[in-house]
Chains A and B, each alone.
Chain A
Amino acid sequence: MSARKIRVLIAKPGLDGHDRGAKVIARALRDAGMEVIYTGLRQTPEMIAEAALQEDVDVVGLSILSGAHMVLVPRILELLRANGQENVKLFLGGIIPDADVPELVEMGVQAVYGPGTSTVQVIEDIRKEFLGAAEG
């Protein structure tokens, strides 16, 4: 039984307390056959990077609605890289202004999903990105 499962960490950094979106995504990825580690609310970048390391995840999904993404995301990316996890893919959901997206992508964010994104889209992207990474 050597089944390779896609492992995803879904986390909510910062101080906003709305986790509905994160839970919807976690549930959708679970139903797509992935193993989803959910950390709960109010995580610091350090907590997220530590969980990503211990759980050896392939993908990290962050839900941010507080507007603090331009501070939190670079910090989390920096910590992931410092831990040797530069190959972990990071995607964002929540309320992210369009104007910030190019800079976030420049930093190394794979995708930014706003309200109304279909979960099918997220699943497909993760599979493609994950498989792409596995081939390369």
Chain B
Amino acid sequence: MELVKRVLAGERLALARLLTQVENDTPAGQAALDELFPFAGKAHLVGITGAPGTGKSSLVNQIAQLFRQPQAGMQPCKVAIVAVDPSSPFTGGALLGDRVRMRDLAGDPGIFIRSMAARGALGGLARSTAGVVQVLDAAGFDLILIETVGAGQNEVDIVRLAHTTIVVEAPGMGDDIQAIKAGLLEIADILVINKADRPGVENTTRALKTMFELGRPGRVMTGKHILQENETALISGEEEHSGWLPPILTSIATQGEGAGNIVQAIRQHGKYLKLSGEWGMRERGRLQNELEDRLQTALVARWRSRLPDEAFQSSLADVLERKISPLQAVAILLNFDVNYEEKN
């Protein structure tokens, strides 16, 4: 396809247009995803999630800038950013405001920012975010930062998409019971307490530290120590038995403080995933999930298209009158399909 060739050649307008096709799930977009699939799978996908207003966009702004600075002996990373914001449940409209915090990134041809509306999806990402990320991956971006919708406790889709998940917290967001609940905090490979100039940062750090240490008694989980420890483990190959220790880092994103540590932790985690073989495992898990999801959607759609609407409506009417339960209706409809096919 013409558009795919232009995307692979690095044309930014073609890339932007293809992302729209993929986002709208058009036939052209689907065909392009098929064509681009063999080219993807190289980028380091990093998710940034956390409650609204904790400073995710400002952190992305800082992290992207640091990754653009050339490292000794390495090419500077090409960085893509996918920023998801919520859609209105009433009108379907959206205000996508993450770019406001990313103005420092303007004018850099090695950076591409795309805003997305969640369009009714509930897991913190849009349905087509994975597709958009795949296109950016195939287009040659080395690092893809995926910023989720402001997340509460259960918007954990990002962990299925990203290799590395950063959870951003701010001081004063809850006590130690919040910290031991399942969900968002559990998925962190790197935990960042942003707005560290606010009061209460010590309490928040302590609560989160306690939570993490419950799982790994006796390990120091905060600040520079853990970065040192992970680095030593990476060099000595010790990570095989100790595993990854999620660092708890503090930052003040609006002043750029602490961003360097976060970038170091992202690089370490990338190395760790590759050395330990977890990169491959996560990739496998992700693709298996995607395959199963797509299979389910396709099967339901195919089956539903064969079921006459009258049959569905009459079962629905029975459910409404409480003659049968929804579960019984499903059994009847599944049988109906078989009988219907046999008769015809």
Interface residues of A (CB under 8 A from B): 1-5, 7, 26-27, 29-40, 43-44, 46-47, 50-51, 53-56, 83-85
Contacts and interface: CB of A to CB of B under 8 A. Distances in A.
A46 B103 CA distance: 12
Given A27-B95, A38-B100, A56-B20, 7 more contacts: A1-B127, A35-B93, A36-B94, A38-B99, A40-B100, A47-B106, A85-B13
B13 A30 contact: no
A54 B110 CA distance: 12
B25 A2 contact: yes
Interface in B78-106: 87-88, 91-97, 99-100, 103, 106
B36 interface: no
Interface in B1-21: 12-13, 16-17, 19-20
A132 B106 CA distance: 32
A51 to B, nearest CB: 6
B112 interface: yes
B195 interface: no
Given A47-B107, A54-B12, A38 B114 contact: no
Nearest to B120: A1
Interface residues of B, number: 30
A36 B103 contact: no
A55 B344 CA distance: 49
A110 to B, nearest CB: 20
B107 A46 contact: yes
A53 B106 contact: no
Given A39-B99, A40-B100, A50-B107, A1 B25 contact: yes
A40 B93 contact: no
A34 B13 CA distance: 21
Given A38-B97, A38-B99, A54 B91 contact: no
B93 A30 contact: yes
B12 A53 contact: yes
A107 B96 CA distance: 29
Given A37-B115, A54-B12, A56-B19, A30 B100 contact: no
B325 interface: no
Contacts of A85: 13
Contact of A54 (B16, B87, B100): B16
Nearest to A42: B103
Nearest to B29: A2
Contacts of B25: 1-2
A47 B16 CA distance: 16
B329 interface: no
Contacts of A53: 12-13, 16
B159 to A, nearest CB: 23
Contacts of A31: 88, 91, 93
Nearest to A28: B93
A37 B98 CA distance: 8
Given A1-B127, A54-B112, A54-B113, A35 B96 contact: yes
A39 B103 CA distance: 8
Contacts of A33: 88, 91-93
